[in-house]
Amino acid sequence: MTHISNLDTLLVSENINGSIIEIDNFVCDLCVYGDELENLTEPQKQFYFIQNLEREVNNGGFEQYFSNSSGDNAHETILALVSIGALKTVNILQQAINEFPDHKVPVDRDKRQEMMEHMENAEAVWDILDQRFFKYDDDLNTLNIQYVERNKDLF
């Protein structure tokens, strides 16, 4: 298994955002940006899912998150957020997921996109949830760094 060589330095850096970005780049390269998730340890997958959530919601909200391949792992992302202790963010993502029929996000992207075209109220709900997400009631960077620290042998 490949480990990030300067992990100890990144974990003590005062530039937490820079450390997160460097770890994220390493994990993304390892799994070929999600095409080879089997290359990742469980903690690396969880880190990857959370970074995808942040990246997509910050770029285009929950609508973009669910439209893109990142939405394939929406349910796994809930578990990843629980594992780092980001319970307020869990609540926001779960409410976004609840807009899907039976509160189930299809793993198949085409099926999910087709379904989204018929979800009349979802966009308005997601817009509200986007704003709640942007408040960052959970300090995701700090929680992620603490998670990586607890699992550094697996990074």
How many domains, in total, are found in the chain? 1
The answer to whether position 91 is within a domain reads yes
The answer to whether position 26 is within a domain reads yes
pLDDT of residue 71: 97
Q: Name the percent of the chain lying above pLDDT 70.
A: 99
The answer to whether position 28 is within a domain reads yes
Interval 34-61: pLDDT, tens:
999 999 999 999 999 999 999 999 999 9
69-82 mean pLDDT: 97
Interval 95-131: pLDDT, tens:
999 999 999 999 999 999 999 999 999 999 999 999 9
Global pTM exceeds 0.85: yes
Q: Angle, nearest 10°, between helix axes 122-134 and 42-67? A: 130
Q: What separation, in Å, do the N-terminal and C-terminal C-alpha atoms of the chain show?
A: 9
The answer to whether position 114 is within a domain reads yes
Q: What is the average pLDDT value for the chain, to the nearest integer?
A: 96
Mapping DSSP to helix (H, G, I), strand (E, B) and coil, where does residue 96 land? helix
Q: Angle, nearest 10°, between helix axes 87-97 and 122-134? A: 170
Distance CA 92, CA 49 (A): 15
Mapping DSSP to helix (H, G, I), strand (E, B) and coil, where does residue 54 land? helix
The answer to whether position 2 is within a domain reads no
Full residue range of the structural domain in which residue 132 is found: 7-154
The answer to whether position 1 is within a domain reads no
